[in-house]
Amino acid sequence: MTHSAAQSTTEGPLGSAAEVKRHKWWGWGLDDVAFRWDNKPAFAPFAIDKIGLDLPGSTPEPEPTLEGFEVPASRLPEDVRAALSGVVGTENVVLDDELRVVHSFGRSVTDLFRVRTGDFSRIVDGVVYPGTEDEVREVLRLVLEHDLVLIPYGGGSCISGSVTPDVSEQRPILTLNLGRMRRVLSIDDTAGLARVDAGVYGPDLEEQLNAEGWTLGHFPDSFTYSTLGGWAATRSSGMQSDKYGDIADIVRGLRLVHPRGVLALTALPGQSDGPSLREMVIGSEGRLGVITEVTVQVHRLAPVRQVIAYMYPDWEHGIRGMHAIARSTEVSPTFTRLSDGPETTFSLAMVKAPSSTKGKIAATAQDALFAYLRRKGWDTENDMCISYVCFEGSQESVARQERIVKSLVKHNGGITLGSGPGAIYDQKKFDTPYLRDFLLGYDVFGDVSDTATPWSRLNEMHTSAVDAAHAALAELERPGFVFCHMSHSYHSGACLYFTFAFPYSAKEQALSEYQHVKNAIQQAFIDHGGTLSHHHAVGTEHQPWIEQDVTPVGVSILQDLFSTSDPARNLNPGKIVSP
């Protein structure tokens, strides 16, 4: 421990732009991966019951083809392209139509709908893939010199419009894809700190860290298609934040290429040196510059990891149980999660048909359990809430915590299901984003909105946001389904994560119908003591609520922060606050 820090430096060659991982052009993730309903017996009945979608009787839209759409030509002047090529190499300045489309959208429902319908009136004019911080500095210098717009880009998974260009922007727009900068540069084994290129994707980062016995412990739902720099720039939080912290806790130091030079913040465990520059860069969505390197705290891989499932008769009992776990000074779970009744029903509808004998036995056991719970007076169809809690540590510590939590759950009216369903939850957690593309194929919107609020207001927030969504759907005269889970537990409160789905009436008014429902939920967040988002950033899609969230004075301070750093608005203009 007192030996000098191990410095395991990876100095492999950088890949070219062509090797950088990316989404399919029209949706989430890999080309050959899609959500399937035919292996989930309860899904089709669920869909027709909740949103009137008759899956067996419907044919989804075919996958879109880019050939059918008009992609505007790049506006990048030839001399600028040549200058950029001189900095990063010709193969790393890409003007290709498909890549420009991919980089012009995040993966919000609005983005996905626009891509599917070929709404390409204004897309980025080129994608630049730098390989080093010096190249980023040089690219930024060219951007300022030629009055271009620069949009830093990680994995393109954001759902708040943070990487989408303003359609009224007249200047040439470049996206800066950091994907070639993806190395763990060094690990300080004594401090538990890793210095990492900002462009590394989640799985690649974990693999590099795991190889040295470390983990970051940061697993947002977007994990497979998001990057370290993107997490920092959007103030991300992973599902294991109870133990590992939000990205703002994880990031100890960073390097930002700013219009005036490099802001280099040393990795420190704590400091008293004025307003936190680190906390200004975190969440800045590219408006202050480009994050090129991040120093993160890393943890030794836990010897034992166990996810246990629990069931409560209803939401109120469940929240009481979650609160008791959060208040206990005797346990420190890795994550805690509670689905409300409708989300529990949805989870059950997502279960695959058992193929093995073991699976069939488990399904039978579940039927018996539910029958027993109904005899006890539980409403297993509507109110019952499933919960997952993850424990990590030594065998003894995990066992001790499991015992304590089991007792807290019981004390609050719940029952322990065990590790079987927990393991299933743990495996399928990154598959959900594919569902939205699937639903869009049937003219159905499926989306999420999240907030955080104190423990004292979680029930009020849950009821209010669900009611607001249902009222908005009723105003549209559309069927729809709304559900929620609580996760990301803190001392003073937690995150509530809402999912809603409804079939839009017609393509022409689809987005305005979507906005109507989304707005109702977001406004409920603000009206009931919550924030506009717990971990999905502001971008443009959450911007209508920033003034209510941080007051007009707060907005003016943010405007000043951005306008003094970037007076000509070359850096991702219009995101977070206008102008």
Q: Check: CB of residue 39 under 8 Å from CB of residue 353.
A: yes
Q: Check: CB of residue 157 under 8 Å from CB of residue 226.
A: yes
Residue 326 and residue 371: Cα distance in Å, rounded? 31
Among 530, 540, 541, 570, binds a copy of itself (CB under 8 A): 530
Residues 259-288 close enough to bind a copy of itself by CB under 8 A: 260-277, 279-285, 288
Residues 225-254 close enough to bind a copy of itself by CB under 8 A: 234-237, 241, 246, 248, 252
- 557 is an interface residue for a copy of itself by CB under 8 A: yes
In the bound state with a copy of itself, the residue whose beta carbon lies nearer, of 268 and 368, is: 268
- 496 is an interface residue for a copy of itself by CB under 8 A: no
Among 390, 435, 476, 538, binds a copy of itself (CB under 8 A): 538
In the bound state with a copy of itself, the residue whose beta carbon lies nearer, of 103 and 252, is: 252
Reading the block at residue 526, the tokens are 């603000």
Among 546, 571, 573, 574, binds a copy of itself (CB under 8 A): 546
Least spacing, CB of residue 564 vs a copy of itself, in Å: 4
Task: Report the candidate in 7, 5, 10, 6 with the shortest Cα–Cα distance to residue 184.
Answer: 10
- Per residue, the 3-state secondary structure of 76-121, as one string, reads CCHHHHHHHHHHHCHHHEECCHHHHHHHCCCCCHHHHHHHHCCCCC
Reading the block at residue 530, the tokens are 């919550």
Least spacing, CB of residue 292 vs a copy of itself, in Å: 13
Strands (E), 362-480: 385-393, 415-418, 444-454
Residues 292-311 close enough to bind a copy of itself by CB under 8 A: 297, 299-300, 302
- 486 is an interface residue for a copy of itself by CB under 8 A: no
Least spacing, CB of residue 190 vs a copy of itself, in Å: 4
- 392 is an interface residue for a copy of itself by CB under 8 A: yes
Among 337, 535, 540, 574, binds a copy of itself (CB under 8 A): 535
In the bound state with a copy of itself, the residue whose beta carbon lies nearer, of 193 and 476, is: 193
In this chain, which stretch among 50-58, 189-197, 202-210, 507-515 interacts with a copy of itself, using CB under 8 A?
Answer: 189-197
458-476 vs 315-327: helix crossing angle, rounded to 10: 140
In the bound state with a copy of itself, the residue whose beta carbon lies nearer, of 95 and 561, is: 561
Phi, psi of 478 (to 5 degrees): -115, 145
Helix (H) or strand (E) holding 308: strand 304-312
In the bound state with a copy of itself, the residue whose beta carbon lies nearer, of 389 and 473, is: 389
315-327 vs 395-411: helix crossing angle, rounded to 10: 140
Please enumerate in sequence order all residues whose Cβ is within 8 A of that of 195, keeping only pairs 6 or more positions apart, or say none.
184, 185, 186, 187, 188, 253, 267, 293, 294, 295
Residue 409 and residue 322: Cα distance in Å, rounded? 8
In the bound state with a copy of itself, the residue whose beta carbon lies nearer, of 51 and 256, is: 256
Residues 426-485 close enough to bind a copy of itself by CB under 8 A: 452-457, 459
Helix (H) or strand (E) holding 295: strand 290-297
Least spacing, CB of residue 133 vs a copy of itself, in Å: 13
In the bound state with a copy of itself, the residue whose beta carbon lies nearer, of 100 and 243, is: 243
Least spacing, CB of residue 504 vs a copy of itself, in Å: 27
In the bound state with a copy of itself, the residue whose beta carbon lies nearer, of 82 and 399, is: 399
Q: Check: CB of residue 496 under 8 Å from CB of residue 453.
A: yes
In the bound state with a copy of itself, the residue whose beta carbon lies nearer, of 23 and 535, is: 535
In this chain, which stretch among 101-109, 208-216, 338-346, 392-400 interacts with a copy of itself, using CB under 8 A?
Answer: 392-400
- 144 is an interface residue for a copy of itself by CB under 8 A: no
- Per residue, the 3-state secondary structure of 219-249, as one string, reads CCCCHHHCEHHHHHHCCCCCCCHHHHCCHHH
Least spacing, CB of residue 99 vs a copy of itself, in Å: 28
In this chain, which stretch among 142-150, 393-401, 418-426, 466-474 interacts with a copy of itself, using CB under 8 A?
Answer: 393-401
- 4 is an interface residue for a copy of itself by CB under 8 A: yes
Residue 246 and residue 536: Cα distance in Å, rounded? 12
Residue 256 and residue 252: Cα distance in Å, rounded? 13
